[in-house]
Amino acid sequence: MIHRIIYWVRLQVHELRKGNSGDWAWMNTKPTPLASMSRNLWRAADPSFTYYFLLMLSVVIATFGLLSNSAATIIGAMIVAPLMGPIIGIAFSIVLNNRRLLRRSLLGILTGCLMSVAVAFLITWLIGIETATTEMLARTSPTLLDLGVALAAGAAGSYAKSRRDVADALPGVAIAVALVPPLAVVGIGMGMRSADITQGSLLLFATNLVGIVFSGALVFLFQRYGSVAKAQRGLAIAVTALVALGIPLGLSFQDLVIRERTRSAVNRLIRQQTLTFGDRDIRSLTVQRRGRDLIVNLEVAALAGSISAEQVELVQAFLQDNLDRPLSLNVTVVPVELFNAPAP
């Protein structure tokens, strides 16, 4: 029976290939010619009125989305943002050693970033909101995972720029790498006078910028734009920047791994080996680190008075002994009311 199925599948694949065989040379695609690529990226890197206007609208949308904790609004801001143009322009100028295009692209990025931070700061200052949302906090602790996203997005963006038939992928690249939201968070952090938010989001933007430039330059070289000899200096600077960024990103990634492993261990222990929380409706469980100390925040839905302070202390001691680390346990009990209306 299995042999018959395999034979049938092979037959169908053969028929499919046969039906699609032929001379399809007109479907073959080649990289955009060098002169055309230069013109396109020169236009994309131009710090024109349209560039600043679209960037300003993107920052306004992103800032309101971040302050209102709306992921959909933030995604909309990513699509509008024109920052990918000058960043890809930097990557292209590196492989060609084109200093004029490099200066033009850097000018667009620098002035655009300053304007973006200023707009986000002004909106935050005028509204007066001082509470960080989860969407904001999600952009303040970049790790090596974010660098991986930036490298992949840079490669995709450069490839899409060099191939007319895949240009439709650029909006998806803009969404994946998210350049404007971190800049907006920098301005919001300054408006809230929070150094942690400002520094963390600035690190994320720098990670995205360097990652896109480096991988974009490699893709351009792979497609035979420019040469390794011309790109040596620019690539050396990019590699140095990646190594410098890799230190804090690596530490942040290590912290993330430890927190997630600890969270998994805590969740297993309290559900399987404690009577206090074993059969409870646990709404959320988060773990924070302060040096060697752990802070466990637990939110539980339970009847009022069903969990006592003594029980929480016993669970805290149990977790601390099992994890062999100083641990603080913060439990929030969300009262649950039960009503019963029996049939007459």
Q: Write the pLDDT tens digit of every residue in 64-96.
A: 999 988 888 888 888 777 888 888 889 988 988
Prediction pTM value? 0.79
The kind and range of the H/E element at 185 are: helix 180-191
Read off the pLDDT of residues 271-326 as tens digits, 9 standing for 90 and up.
888 877 777 788 888 888 777 788 888 888 887 777 888 888 888 888 888 888 88
| For range 234-248, the mean pLDDT | 91
Determine the residue type at 293.
D
pLDDT for res 245: 92
Q: Which of 161-170, 249-258, 289-298 has the lowest mean pLDDT?
A: 161-170
Above 70 in pLDDT, residue 261?
A: yes
Distances (CA, A) of 332 to 28, 286, 300, 310: 61, 12, 6, 14
pLDDT for res 28: 53
Assign 26 a pLDDT band (cuts: 50, 70, 90). Answer: very low
Q: Which residues contact 202 (CB under 8 A, 6 or more apart)?
A: 182, 186
Most distant CA atoms of the chain, gap in Å:
89
Q: Of residues 342 and 162, which shows the higher confidence score?
A: 162
| For range 161-186, the mean pLDDT | 71
Nearest by Cα to 157 from 201, 74, 220, 77 = 220
pLDDT for res 27: 46
CB 175 within 8 A of CB 75: yes
Q: Of residues 164 and 210, which shows the higher confidence score?
A: 210
Distance between CA atoms of 83 and 163, rounded to whole angstroms?
Answer: 19
* Structural domains of the chain, ranges and CATH numbers in brackets: 33-226 (1.20.1080), 258-335 (3.30.300.20)
Distance between CA atoms of 2 and 106, rounded to whole angstroms?
Answer: 62
Q: Which of 11-20, 158-167, 292-301 has the lowest mean pLDDT?
A: 11-20
The angle formed by the CA atoms of residues 182, 183 and 187, to the nearest 5 degrees, is 115
pLDDT for res 20: 53
Adjacent-strand bridge partners of 335: 302
